Amino acid sequence: MRALRGKSTERDVLTAARERFDVLYRRFDRVSVMFSGGKDSTVCLHLAIEAARNHGRLPVEAIFYDEEAIYPTTIEYVRRMATMPEVKLYWYCIPVQHRNASSRQQPYWHPFHPEERDKWCVPLPDEALTEMPRKDAPSKFSPMPELGPYSLKPNSPRETQAQVLGLRAQESPRRRMVVSRREQENWLMASPLAGNVNLAYPIYDWTSLDVWFFPQLNGYDYNRTYDLFDMAGVPVHLQRVCPPFGEEPLAGLFLYQMIAPQMWAKMVNRCHGVATAARYAKTELYSFGDTPPPPGLTYREWTFALLALWPNPMRGKIAAAIDSVMAQHAKKTNAPIPDVEPDPHTAVSWKFISMMANRGDAKGRKAQNLRMKAMDMAIKRGENPADTLAQLGADLGTRY
């Protein structure tokens, strides 16, 4: 297998993942799988079933957050998996906070919001759990990463839990940083939110080909949405089942028109700007690629002009993400931030920051990608990236 920084090891990724699941079932009182119906969580669920069977701990607890605007074929697949005797599925329909990158006026939306029932894309399913099980959980209107660790109520005050997520380093620099925090057991970390819960990423080093080969090798069922992606001409590495209105998924929003036209008719009225985003997501209107400033403005001036377009409190969140980028630059160098060309040590430029302001990057996701670029630049200069890796991982928290 290939380790995170390209070092070869003697184990293949399947063997390594099975060893990690064995660790989880030996070390923790309770192991659950965050199951989205996607290819990565499918692999995790089947590997968990294998390990649970070996340890006499079936069924596997699987946690599914229904995000309302989901491909019908994904829902069909989740229901098929829920019928397996080896699986105990918790089907949550909670109004968690999701990003709506299609609109500046409505930067967030909440699936199954009780006050927006007339706009729901689908009826509430029969399996729905509409309340969080733990009294100490944040508000159910909180962002998904904050709610996830509270998905299961402990059976005792001292119970330890491991929550498995199908995060893979190959998918994005942001996800690569999550598992760059330390050398030993980099795939396992305590959640700072729920003290009894640990987050586990046992297939972080798998590739897309690995993920697809595993169910084919074993004859496992899979989400037929991926077949529809193939028919629509979507490359394998871009095929993801995820909430439709976020910054990254926005480029594939138009696929709902092709794959789920009946749902699409409701989606265009679900959130502000959806129909516009489906048509123009891959243009300058949504900061796709470089968005040059108007004549006479520098990228620095353009950044502040774009920031002013956002209403509060969203403007403050974006400004905080930009401040973080500027602070990271100041730690590395006393040189001013260049307007166009990336700084050779930090990769920061006002051109890049303007893209954060235009896109509404409140979580600093593009900034995380930027930091990985800076690390790669350090490696090319022959510098030791160990300190950079530790620093990058430290600012991530538990985002996934």
The pLDDT assigned to 388 comes to 44
Specify the pairing of strand 197-200 against strand 188-190.
antiparallel
CB 60 within 8 A of CB 215: no
Q: Per-residue confidence at 60, pLDDT binned at 50, 70, 90? A: very high
Q: How sure is the predictor about 376, in pLDDT bands with cuts at 50, 70 and 90?
A: low
Strand order in the sheet with 60-65: 87-92, 60-65, 30-34, 161-164, 197-200, 188-190
pLDDT at 201 over 60: yes
Asked if pLDDT for residue 256 goes beyond 80, the answer is yes
Using CB atoms within 10 Å of the CB of residue 161, give its burial: 0 to 12 exposed, 13 to 18 middle, 19+ buried: buried
Q: Span 218-239, mean pLDDT?
A: 92
pLDDT of residue 26: 97
The residue to which tokens 């530790």 are assigned: 390
Q: Are 355 and 318 in contact (CB under 8 A)?
A: no
Q: What is the pLDDT of residues 63-104, one digit of tens each?
A: 999 999 999 999 999 999 999 999 999 999 999 999 999 998
Which amino acid appears at position 136 of this protein?
A: D
> Which residues, other chains included, contact 290 with Cβ-Cβ below 8 Å and sequence gap of 6+?
351, 355
Q: Which letter does DSSP use for residue 263 in this model?
A: H
Segment 311-316 shows an average pLDDT of 88
Report pTM: 0.81
Residue ranges per structural domain of the chain: 13-209, 299-394
CA gap 45, 88 in Å, rounded? 11
Q: Give the 3-state secondary structure of 337-353.
A: CCCCCCCCCCCCCHHHH
Query: Which pLDDT does position 371 carry in this prediction?
Result: 54
Per-residue pLDDT at 387 exceeds 50: no
Q: CA 99, CA 277: separation in Å to the nearest integer?
A: 13
DSSP state of 271: S
**Whole-number pLDDT of residue 173:** 45
Q: In this predicted model, what pLDDT tens digit does every residue of 141-189 receive, in sequence order? A: 999 889 999 999 999 989 999 999 998 876 544 444 444 455 556 789 8
**Hunting for tokens 């949550």 — which residue is that?**
92
Q: Where are the alpha helices (DSSP H) in 2-71?
A: 13-27, 39-54
Q: Report how far apart, in Å, the C-alpha atoms of 209 and of each of 196, 370, 394 are.
A: 34, 26, 30
Adjacent-strand bridge partners of 99: 108
Specify the 3-state DSSP secondary structure of 52: helix
Residue 183's pLDDT is 52
Task: Give the DSSP per-residue string, 183-230.
Answer: STTTTEEE-SSSTTEEEE-TTTT--HHHHHHHHHHHT----THHHHHH
Give the Cβ contact number of residue 87 at 10 Å.
20
d(CA 34, CA 62): 6
Q: What is the average per-residue pLDDT within 237-242?
A: 87
Average pLDDT taken over every residue of the chain: 85
Dump strand ranges (E) for the chain.
Answer: 30-34, 60-65, 87-92, 98-99, 108-109, 161-164, 188-190, 197-200
pLDDT over 60 (residue 334):
yes
Amino acid letter at 332? Answer: K
Assign domain 13-209 one CATH number from 3.30.70, 3.40.50, 1.10.287, 3.90.1280: 3.40.50
Classified as helix, coil or strand, 88 is strand
pLDDT of residue 8: 46
Strands 98-99 and 197-200: unpaired
Residue 345's pLDDT band (cuts 50, 70, 90): confident
pLDDT tens, 262-296?
999 999 999 999 999 999 988 877 877 677 888 99
Tally of CB atoms within 10 A around 182? 12
pLDDT exceeds 70 at position 336: yes
Q: What are phi and psi of 55, to 5 degrees?
A: -100, 5
Could you tell me whether strands 161-164 and 98-99 are parallel, antiparallel, or unpaired per DSSP bridges? unpaired
Q: Read off the pLDDT of each residue in 379-396 and give the average, rounded to a whole number.
A: 46
